[in-house]
Amino acid sequence: MEVAETPPSPRVKMMLISLSLSLALSSLAYAAPFTDTPLTDYAHKVKEVAIPPRGWIKRGAPPADYTIELRIALPQPNFSELERHLYEVSDPTHYRYGEYLSKGEVEELIAPHPESLNSVHHWLATHGFTDDHLNRSPASDWIKVNVPVSLAEKMLNTEYHVWVHEPTGKTAIRTTTYSLPETLHHHIELVHPTIHFPSTKPLVATSHLSPILPKVLGANVAHARPIVVPSASGGHVDADCNNNINIKCLQQIYNIGRYKSSAHNGSRIGITGYLEQFANIEDLQSFYKEQRPDAVGSSFDTISVHGGLNNQSLAEAGVEANLDTQFAFGLTFPTPGVFYSTAGRPPIINDLQTPDNTNEPYQDWLDYVLDHPNPPQVVSTSYGDDEQTVPESYARRICQGLAQLGARGVSVFFSSGDFGVGDGDPNPETQICKTNDGRNVTRFMPAFPASCPYVTTIGGTVHIPEVAIGFSGGGFSDLFPRPAYQDSVVSGYLKNLPEGIYAGLFNSSGRAYPDLAAQSSRYVVWVGGHSGHVGGTSASSPTVAAIFSLLNDVRISHGLSPLGFLNPLIYKIQAEHPEALNDITEGNNPGCGTQGFNATKGWDPVTGLGTPNFGKLKDIVLSLE
């Protein structure tokens, strides 16, 4: 008896039709002839060239036999299709809202053209590499291979050097230009590590631990009346929240109240960790005992990425890792939490003959999480760099990887940075915001990945009632155009700027950030067995991520999909339900010899759309089908 074949669902059929059309069109663009001529016989043509970022000094040649891991990025000819799916499943007015793509569907959409795969494999084979030497991503859009420096120089027609960043002592093996056989140029987007120098900024730019003096703080607030904040839970916030931000303060300020999530409905939240930042379990228990007693005895999963460690010595406890995990998991308890410990810290190297591999650890995390069939529905990262120090090809590939997570239903949060519009310095005589393109002109310094249009970027506030904090990063991307979901509010903000102000200092048509904000000063954390204050937008991001994780819990508990890529939703909420976001209208973010941008009514490049009101948002997200 024959069994009738089940026809594909309308959604799958639409995807297949779209993908077939895209592949047919892309095959025309990738119709370069493939011959048996060795690619080494073709003339090389420069692929990328860069000026080294400020502070990096060339010091010497690495050992010829030193091995580096080359990452080769193949074009994703159908990325525009993936982007279309991303916006459709993220738009609350679209009939596909919440119908996220599977890992396999995303990989089909970003797969390179077969001609690109054949050409790159042929090129690698001419240099002696077989399939056994190659490590491919699931979609084959990245190929990794370990190569001696001497061979890498031959393959790329370049010379590598050991570079030292004098202010920090960090080192990297990099070049400032490389070439490929001309016939490969449209089959390879970029090769890394080449011209992309690693970040020299710490992940926590302003975060630091300072001692708390309970008797001094207590004397000022012991009998103080609660602060009236109509949007807060119960309409009041404890007066001490102007001195110490703890779990209770955030529950009050953002109208979370006594809401408690489920431990078993499938909702999860993730925190990324880099630069040997270890989240300490003993400190977590001390934090829980003080701020979240019902969570005492609970913990989180630690996942090692690319050999990341999990050192539980109190002496090795990381300020950033403890801040993120204590508040993200403390606010969302008992939602299961995941901490990703990603290796890749570039150490100080005294001996230039024994340099260390300095591939960007953030890419390692992205490789890992994209290969996972069920990543957490919310992930927060307190990490960033000046956008101008990241080659455009590399920034776009990272951003496209983040779009893949959004298409799969993951809400991705980044802190906006802690240097205002650039260096945090309002003095024009001492500011250091200079372009590194050879012109050396003053310009605002947007941050990346905060400027990626597929993530939700979080700025900072302070005090009760809230005002913008001066270091809150914000501005406009020089790489990514302004997305449609924010066009109306950003155009309105720009229209109200005084004519000619900051002319030439920023790209008014670029992706604007941040999108939201939260408290970013005087968080009380436990580190190394002691409590202390921590500040920075690295505190704001896990806070807002936790609030949206709770909103996911609301939806998942009612049989609805998680919220996924948030920006189309939150900009629509601001337009239709402004009471669901606490508008911040005071403060500014100085830097680059200016006072920066001002917070104002509606969206602004200091606090975005404002801070979240969980109680109001809860009702809204439940109404979305």
Q: What percent of the chain has pLDDT over 90?
A: 76
The whole-number average pLDDT for the span 3-13 is 43
Provide the 10 A C-beta neighbour count for residue 496.
Answer: 12
Q: What is the pLDDT of residue 1?
A: 38
Q: Is the pLDDT of residue 18 over 80?
A: no
Task: Tell me the sheet residues that pair with 154.
Answer: none
425 is catalytic: no
Q: Is residue 538 flagged as an active site residue?
A: yes
Share the mean pLDDT of the chain. Answer: 88
Residue 487 pLDDT > 50, yes or no?
yes
Percent of the chain whose predicted confidence (pLDDT) is above 70: 87
Q: Are 566 and 486 in contact (CB under 8 A)?
A: no
**For residue 356, what are the CA distances in angstroms to 80, 162, 172, 556?**
37, 10, 8, 45
Binding residues: 583-584, 602, 604
What's the pLDDT band for 137 if we cut at 50, 70, 90? very high
Q: Which of 107, 141, 189, 320 is catalytic?
A: 320
Q: pLDDT of 164-193, one tens digit each?
A: 988 878 888 999 999 999 999 999 999 999
Angle between helix 103-110 and 10-29 (nearest 10): 20
Going by pLDDT thresholds of 50, 70 and 90, the confidence category of residue 39 is low
Say yes or no to pLDDT of 220 above 90: no
pLDDT classification of 396: cutoffs 50, 70, 90: very high
ω before 7 within 30° of 0 (cis)?
Answer: no
More confident: 168 or 118:
118
pLDDT at 315 over 90: no
- Tell me the C-alpha to C-alpha distance, in Å, between residue 75 and each of 53, 78, 110, 283, 425: 26, 9, 8, 45, 40
Calculate mean pLDDT across residues 143-151. 96
Helix/strand/coil (H/E/C) assignment for every residue in 264-291: CCCCCEEEEECCCCECCHHHHHHHHHHH
For the question of residue 316 being annotated catalytic, the response is no
Question: For position 588, what pLDDT does the model report?
Answer: 98
Instruction: Give Cα 93 to chain centroid, integer Å.
Output: 26
Tens digits of per-residue pLDDT, 459-471?
999 999 999 999 9
Q: Write the CA distances from 141 to 73, 202, 452, integer angstroms.
A: 6, 30, 20
E strand or H helix at 53: none
pLDDT reading at 482 higher than 60:
yes
Q: At what angle do helices 567-576 and 79-90 cross, to 10 degrees?
A: 40
Residue 221: pLDDT band (50, 70, 90) is low
Structure tokens at 567: 């920006």
SS3 content of the chain, % helix, strand, coil (to 5): 35, 20, 45
Catalytic residue chosen out of the listed positions 324, 385, 386, 478: 324
Is the model's pLDDT at 345 over the cut of 70?
no
Asked whether 183 and 42 are in contact (CB, 8 A), the reply is: yes
Instruction: Indicate whether 372 pLDDT > 70.
Output: yes
Which DSSP state fits 102?
P
How far is Cα 288 from Cα 215, in angstroms, rounded to an integer?
A: 22
Q: In which region does residue 403 sit, left (phi positive, over 0), alpha (psi from -120 to 50) or beta (all else)?
A: alpha
Single out the residue of 525, 539, 461, 464 nearest to residue 211, CA to CA.
Answer: 525
The gap between the terminal CA atoms of the chain, to the nearest Å, is: 41
Which residues sit in the known binding site for Ca(2+)? 583-584, 602, 604
Give the model confidence (pLDDT) of 255-309 as tens digits.
999 999 999 999 999 999 887 789 999 999 999 999 999 999 999 999 999 888 8
Query: Hey, what are 160's tokens?
Result: 């590598």
Pairing of strands 142-148, 67-73: antiparallel
Rounded Cα–Cα distance for residues 451 and 496 (Å): 22
The answer to whether residues 101 and 407 touch, using CB atoms and an 8 Å cutoff, is yes
Q: Give me the catalytic one of 261, 538, 540, 541.
A: 538
Q: What is the CATH number of domain 210-217+263-345+359-622?
A: 3.40.50.200
User: Residue 436's pLDDT is what?
Assistant: 85
Give the pLDDT of residue 268: 98
Q: Compute the average pLDDT of residues 32-50.
A: 67
CA distance 510 to 535: 28
At 23 the pLDDT is: 42
Instruction: Using a cut of 0.75, tell me whether the model's pTM lies above it.
Output: yes
pLDDT value of position 7:
41
